[in-house]
Structures are given as structure tokens and as C-alpha cells.
Amino acid sequence: MRFRTRAFLLCFVPFAVLFAATFWVAQKLVQSTVRSGLLASLRESQLALARAQAKADLQNGRFLQIEAESTELQSGMQLLLTDPSADDARKAMEDQLRALGDRMGFDLLFVSEPDGAPLAGVMRQASAKGDQKGQLVPLGNLLVAQPATGLLVIGDRIFQFASAPIGEAGANIGTLSVGEYFKLPQSGKLAVLIHDGDVIDFNLSNVLGPELDEAMKDCAGRQECDFRLEGANWLAMPMQDLGGGYLLWSLENVDEATRPIRTRLRSFFLIMQLGLLLIALLCSIVSSRSIEKPIAVVISQLRNAEQTGVLPEALPILSSTAEMRELATSYTRAAVSARNARERLQSAYVEFIGSLANALDARDRYTSGHSKRVSRFSSATAAAMGLDRECVERIRIGAQLHDIGKIGVPDSALQKPGLLTAEEFALVKEHPVIGRRILEGVAGLAPYLDAVELHHENWDGSGYPRRQSGLETPIDARIIHVSDAYDAMTSQRSYRRTKTHEQAIQELIRCAGTQFDPRVVEVFAKLPRETFSAQNPDSGESGTMRQLEAAEAD
């Protein structure tokens, strides 16, 4: 078995088994605890409601029995039965029922014939404040045949009622029914009233009836029902059968109920995690002992290589593991290959730079030495400005290549001894763009593209090809621009006298802030005189160079 496989199995298998066992135990514990607690709570609510309902039914039954035996009610009932259509008899009965309701606080009272046909009744109107303590008014057209048990729906109101027979001389002459507005439990218990599978009323806040109806559509006929509502898990249990197809369900938000348990489980998981961490630490020590030191050596060497850019060719790894010895050997071979490739690339890169410069010299013999001098002035200026060594080297090479685009300028314009026409001068001004096109085909020359293309941009935006101004132009191009202009002014021309070093410096200072970057000019002017001592003042220039550089200097 390979070393990697052994290390993987040693570390992974114990943790996988422990994590799986932990989550399995926790899941079972949560499910069992939560469900038992919720079911116990719902059953307790169910029993409490049943006891309260039984007590209320007993009290209402006694009251109804007493009222049903009153001679006044029996007399009114006899009168109403004699002529059910008589308004006086019905109004008299309604007055009796209203007085009884006001005295006892009932919200609904009505009397019916022995066969259940309604005769007269009153119902309490809701007050303007909605507290349902308004006046008792006749039922009128709302008086219809009512069920013997259950809830009573009249209009948009739900009543819970009880009935008792009205007897006279042992004969049943009718039925007295009294009721109150049905109210869901107000003791913090969540409940929903369902009639034949449809939600009638509920006391859940921030929940719409259709959503609750849809969530509980599969709960009919079940003793326990789990469903999801508003992204949470709920548990429902029938609380009370109110008769007539009305069923009161008690609800519990499982997620809310499990919050205290989850809090306790955090402590449990913390202990488990600490235990697993200890086991992981021990297993890691055992499994990594054979590779810890070799890997540390490799990391150290790679970090050094990241800073220096050079891979060391010797990797001091002492390990009895065959894979680590193979790693050291492969690393050494890779380092040697990288060194050789870097040397070949550097050699090819230097040769390519030299070839480009030679091509430019072969193109226009009058520019010989110009690029080298500009390169020397630019790198000296960059170093004096405190730029890092990498930036100085980039500017040095960029300056050496800054006029490479003149290779693409026609001979008729580039080597013309006299002054150029406007069209010829426009062709010559294309050399920065041509230079960029030449270099951008070589990935290794990408850092020098801005120097080649933008070294004729002026500080005030009057340059070319992009008419950039100020700091829009990269520092490489701004430095090369100053060095290029200085070399143009101090090189010999046939049409005017060569400027001395001091005259050229004064001209640069005069044009600082318009043509040149003031900071670059300030540093350039303070360069040691020996920086310019290697310049060849006798070098000649073609008409093209004279006109282009005269335009830059003037």
C-alpha cells in the first residue's frame, strides 16, 4: 500500500467514523427529545381544555335546565307555538331572550320547536370597537334550522352553544339554546379550527389562511401531523371534537420548541469537538511523523525561491520513506531544468534585444548610438528618483527600444535629408504605434510597450499618439521623453548649432510643466556630469530625425 494511501486511511477513517456516530446520536437525541416534549405538551393542553370544557358544559347544563323550567319561558313558548307567525308572540319571546342574555352575558339565544324548527332568537352585535359586547338584536332572516351539537356559524360569526328541552307538565314543548362567541385558546397555545378539512379560524400571527389551509391539507383523520409552514417545521394534534364536523387542532412550532434543546446541544457538541480535536491531534502526530520534517524543508526552499526567483538544486531531505526520497530527486532534476531554461531564455532575450537594436541601426545609420544614450540617461534618472531595481531595469530596456517603430517608417520619410512635408511628418509620428505592434507579439516584451508607445506624450496633453496628460502617462515614458529630448538637443545638427549641456538643461527646465514632467526634469538636471560624458557629440542625424526631435525640443 502506498504511503499516501496509508496516511489518508490513518487520518480519515477514525474521524469519519467518529463524526458519523456523533451526528447519528445527536440526530436521534434531538428527534426523540423534541417529539416527546411536544407530544406531552399537546396532550396536557388537550386534557386541560377537556376539563375546562366539561366544567363549562356542566354549569351551562344546570343553568339551561333551570331556565328551561321557568314558567315565564314556558308561557311564552306556549304562546309562540299557538301562532308561530304572530309578531307579538315572537317579539315577546325575543324580549325574554334579550333580558336573559343581558343578565347572563350570552351572545346567542334562540328557541326551537321539538323537531328543531327555529321560532325566535337574538344575537349580540359587535360593538364599534370590535369587542363583541354590543346589543342583542333579533336574528330575523338569520334564524335557520340549527344542528343539535357543535358550532354554529351565523354570517361571519362562530358560536359555541348548548341546548336544553323546555318542558311543561312532563311534555317537551321546545328547545332553549344559548351560546357564546367561539374563541380560540388565549393562553399562548396556538390552535386552528377546521371544519370538514377547511381552516375556519386560527390564532397564528403573520400567517395567511390559504397558506395554513394548504399546509394542513394532509392532516385530516390523523392523530399526529407534521407539516411545514413559513419555512418552519410544525406539529399538530387534534385537541377537541366540537361536533358537526368541527375539530380544534393544537399546534407547536418544532423549530421554536427545539431552540432550548439546540442550546444545550451546543455544549454537547463542543465537548465532542474537543474530544475529536484531541484524537485528531494524536492521529496527526502519528501519521505525519515520517513526512513532517521533509515537507518543512521543501516549503522552506520554495519560500526562498519565491523571493529570489531561483530554485536551489540541492534538497537536504533525510527520510526513510521512498516517496520522500523520490520527491527530493525529482525536485533536484526540476531545479536544474528550470535553471537551464532560465539561462536559455535570458540568453535568447538578450540576443533578441540586441537584434532589434542592430536592426534599427541598420535602418537609419544616423540614429546609431541614440537609443543607447537615451537608455543610459533614463536608467540613471530612474535610479536617482529612488525607483526599485526592477523598475530601473525595465526603463533601461524600454529606452533602448523606444524608437524601434521607425523600422516600419518608409525610407522616403525616414531618410529624407531635407525637411518633411506634413504627410511625411505624419508617417514618422506613427513610429510609437508601430513599435508597440512590433513588440506586443512577444510576451516577454510586454513590460516595455508603454515606454515605446507613449514616450512622445507631453505633460500638458499636446503630445501623441494618445494625447495623454500628467500622470496618465506611465513613469517609464515620462523619463524616456526627457532623456530623448536632451539627446536630441545635444547631438549635432546641420541646420542649427548643437546645444551645450547647460543650454539643454535650461531648455528642459523651461518646458517643464508643459512638455515634460517637472519632477523628472528636476531629477534629470541634478544628475552627475559624468553621466553624460560618454555621449558622442559628433554623431550625425538624418533630416527626419532633425525635424522630429527639433519639434520635441522646441
CB of 121 closer than 8 Å to CB of 94? yes
Q: Is the pLDDT of residue 117 over 70?
A: yes
pLDDT at 546: 44
pLDDT at 504: 93
Place 538 in a pLDDT band, splitting at 50, 70 and 90: very low
pLDDT at 553: 45
DSSP secondary structure string for all residues of 86-152: -HHHHHHHHHHHHHHHHHHT-SEEEEE-TTS-EEEEEEEPPPTTSSS---EEE-GGG-----SSSEE
Place 381 in a pLDDT band, splitting at 50, 70 and 90: very high
Q: Is the pLDDT of residue 347 over 80?
A: no
User: In what order do the strands lie in the sheet containing 171-181?
Assistant: 136-138, 118-124, 108-112, 171-181, 157-168, 151-154
Q: Is the pLDDT of residue 1 over 60?
A: no
Place 536 in a pLDDT band, splitting at 50, 70 and 90: very low
CB of 551 closer than 8 Å to CB of 382? no
Fold exhibited by the domain 69-181 = Beta-Lactamase (3.30.450)
Query: From CA 547, how far away is CA 553, in angstroms rounded?
Result: 10
In this structure, of 150-159, 234-243, 306-315, the range with the lowest mean pLDDT score is 306-315
Share of the chain above pLDDT 70, in %: 66
Query: From CA 259, how far away is CA 339, in angstroms rounded?
Result: 63
pLDDT at 541: 42
Query: From CA 522, how far away is CA 110, in angstroms rounded?
Result: 109
Place 126 in a pLDDT band, splitting at 50, 70 and 90: confident
pLDDT at 321: 65
pLDDT at 309: 58
CB atoms < 10 A from the CB of 516, how many?
Answer: 26
Place 56 in a pLDDT band, splitting at 50, 70 and 90: low
Where is 161: in which H helix or E strand?
strand 157-168
In this structure, of 68-82, 267-281, 316-330, 461-475, the range with the lowest mean pLDDT score is 316-330
Q: Is the pLDDT of residue 367 over 50?
A: yes
pLDDT at 495: 47
pLDDT in tens, 208-227: 878 888 888 888 778 788 88
Query: From CA 540, how far away is CA 368, in angstroms rounded?
Result: 9
pLDDT at 543: 42
Quote the mean pLDDT of the chain: 76
pLDDT at 542: 42
Q: Is the pLDDT of residue 520 over 90?
A: yes
Average pLDDT, integer, range 252-256: 76
Average pLDDT, integer, range 381-400: 94
Query: From CA 447, how far away is CA 399, in angstroms rounded?
Result: 12
Average pLDDT, integer, range 355-379: 75
Q: Is the pLDDT of residue 96 over 60?
A: yes
pTM for the full model? 0.43
pLDDT in tens, 454-513: 999 999 999 999 999 999 999 999 999 999 999 989 886 554 578 899 999 999 999 999
CB of 118 closer than 8 Å to CB of 112? yes
Place 379 in a pLDDT band, splitting at 50, 70 and 90: very high
pLDDT in tens, 403-420: 888 888 887 777 777 777
Q: Is the pLDDT of residue 98 over 50?
A: yes
Fold exhibited by the domain 366-553 = Hypothetical protein af1432 (1.10.3210)
